[in-house]
Amino acid sequence: MVSRIYTNATVATLSDKLSKPYGLLEQSAVVVIQDRIDWVGKSKNLPQTYQNFPREDLGGKLITPALIDCHTHLVYGGSRAKEFEMRLEGASYEEIAKAGGGILSTVTATRNTSEEELINSALPRLDALLAEGVCVVEIKSGYGLSIEDELKMLRAARKLETLRDVKIKTTYLAAHAIPPEYKKNSDSYIDEVVLPGLTQAAEEGLVDAVDAFCEGIAFSPDQVDKVFQRATALGIPVKLHAEQLSNLKGTELAARYQALSADHLEYLDLDGVKAMKEAGTVAVLLPGAFYTLRETKLPPIEDLRSEGVPIALATDCNPGSSPIMSLLLIMNMACTLFRLTPEEALNGVTKNAAKALGLGHEKGTIEAGKDANFLIWDITHPAELAYQAGFNPLFKVVRGEFE
């Protein structure tokens, strides 16, 4: 039996059962058996049964759950550095999108990129996330916008899991933008591409969740409803890019489908917040897009807090609105831009990110029964993770396999 005790650690358990901030335990130990956490607590209370397990003395280092990036568009072709320049010359995100740039320029590039090249170009971005202790990454399609190219993106995303030590969750996002060939006929795009593509991708086992972009420049709530109906018929959970640039009440629609998450949410109102609470939908905030687009409308953090909606954070890593591959930086941005507390930021990239991916039962906290997948940091207090930017104090990733 493979087992180990990590002793002399400060443990940010993030457990709801402990009343201290971060569920913090000092001078503590974590016992791992095989790939599960078997016990967590003060070292002095370590049960006798574990006494002969091999030990690793962490000298007071900090343990947190592994990080989870629950919203990315990590797989794509091309680059949008030029669009970045245009924006600096004064064009808005919506103007660029209307002029055929923005998402659509990435669609052209992605269509012209093979599955293998998509994988090769995604790997350095993935590696940047992994270097900070990210162990689960959600990756969306949505730059193919044809059945063949959407499936190509999903296959590339899944393949990444075989090339690195990471769990990948794939999300079908064909309803991300209207492709040029359906410019005046987005309803036909839904009927002829999005829906049959979803059925096909599901048959190939490529879909963990279904997402859509509900926005004036993308799809209406009625169109999203159709996509969600198909997802539900296939038994696949949904999530939604909602209330990013305006309020179309997408969040309330998502909540009617018990969505795993509603994401972005700058323009979310109190009705939407209440609907999320009712449905158990996680609020995924994306401060990287807020920052990149120089958005000024803040998501309704106070309402989310007072209604008790779990808040997750993610990179939204994509070539347009969030070319960011650092979840630690996102934690810092969430505190500085959104005034989240460092504790909320850490919960947002662990416990609540796990919930947003439907993994809450196995990941996101340091508790007996959870996956033995956690991080050892060369710092003594968890607030340091969000406090510093451009600094990576990761010491070691533990995965329940021992060298």
Amino acid present at 188 = S
Q: What are phi and psi of 228, to 5 degrees?
A: -70, -35
316 belongs to the binding site for Fe ion (CB under 5 A): yes
Residue 38 or residue 215: which is nearer to ligand DI6 going by CB? Answer: 215
Q: Which is nearer to Fe ion, 284 or 375 (CB)?
A: 284
Q: Would you state the structure tokens that stand for residue 393, as one six-digit string?
A: 């104090």
Residues in contact with Fe ion, counted by CB under 5 A, come to a total of 1
SS3 labels along the chain:
CCEEEEEEEEEECCCCCCCCHHHEEEEEEEEEECCEEEEEEEHHHCCHHHCCCCEEECCCCEEEECEEECCCCCCCCCCCHHHHHHHHCCCCHHHHHHCCCCHHHHHHHHHCCCHHHHHHHHHHHHHHHHCCCEEEEEEECCCCCCHHHHHHHHHHHHHHHHHCCCEEEEEEEEECCCCHHHCCCHHHHHHHHHHHHHHHHHHCCCCCEEEEEECCCCECHHHHHHHHHHHHHCCCCEEEEECCCCCCCHHHHHHHCCCCEEEECCCCCHHHHHHHHHHCCEEEECHHHHHHCCCCCCCCHHHHHHHCCCEEECCCCECCCECCCCHHHHHHHHHHHHCCCHHHHHHHCCHHHHHHCCCCCCCCCCCCCCECCEEEECCCCCHHHHHCCCCCCEEEEECCCCC
324 binds ligand DI6 (CB under 6 A): no
Between residues 11 and 156, which has the closer beta carbon with respect to ligand DI6?
156
Please, which of residues 371-400 interact with ligand DI6 by CB under 6 A?
Answer: none
Binding mask 131-170 for ligand DI6 (x = CB under 6 A): ----------------------------------------
Question: Least distance (Å) from ligand DI6 to the CB of residue 286?
Answer: 7
The reply to whether 371 sits near Fe ion by the rule CB under 5 A is: no
Q: Which of 32, 103, 283, 346 binds ligand DI6 (CB under 6 A)?
A: 103
Could you say which residues in the range 349-368 bind ligand DI6, by CB under 6 A? none
Q: Does 71 bind ligand DI6 (CB under 6 A)?
A: no
Considering only 11-19, 101-109, 150-158, 335-343, which stretch makes contact with ligand DI6 by CB under 6 A? Answer: 101-109
Decide if residue 213 touches ligand DI6 (CB under 6 A): yes
299 vs 320, which CB is nearer to ligand DI6? 320
Q: Which residue from 77, 102, 250, 382 is in contact with ligand DI6, where contact means CB under 6 A?
A: 102
Q: Does 186 bind ligand DI6 (CB under 6 A)?
A: no
Residue of the chain from 65, 237, 319, 342 that contacts ligand DI6 (CB under 6 A): 319
Q: How far is CA 361 from CA 164, 182, 327, 376, in A?
A: 23, 41, 22, 22
Considering the complex, state which of residue 143 and residue 228 has its C-beta at the smaller distance from Fe ion: 143
Q: How far is the CB of 320 from ligand DI6 (least distance, A)?
A: 2
Q: Which two tokens stand for residue 129?
A: 């996330």
Minimum Å distance from CB 172 to ligand DI6?
Answer: 14
* Complex with Fe ion: residue 56 or 316, whichever CB lies closer: 316
Among 64, 171, 321, 352, binds ligand DI6 (CB under 6 A): 321
Residue 106 binds ligand DI6 (CB under 6 A): yes
Q: Return d(Cα 212, Cα 192) in angstroms, integer.
A: 16
Sole binder of ligand DI6 in the list 15, 186, 244, 332 (CB under 6 A): 244
Contact set with ligand DI6 (CB under 6 A): 73, 102-103, 106, 176, 213, 241, 244, 289, 316, 318-321
What is the binding site for Fe ion (CB under 5 A)? Answer: 316
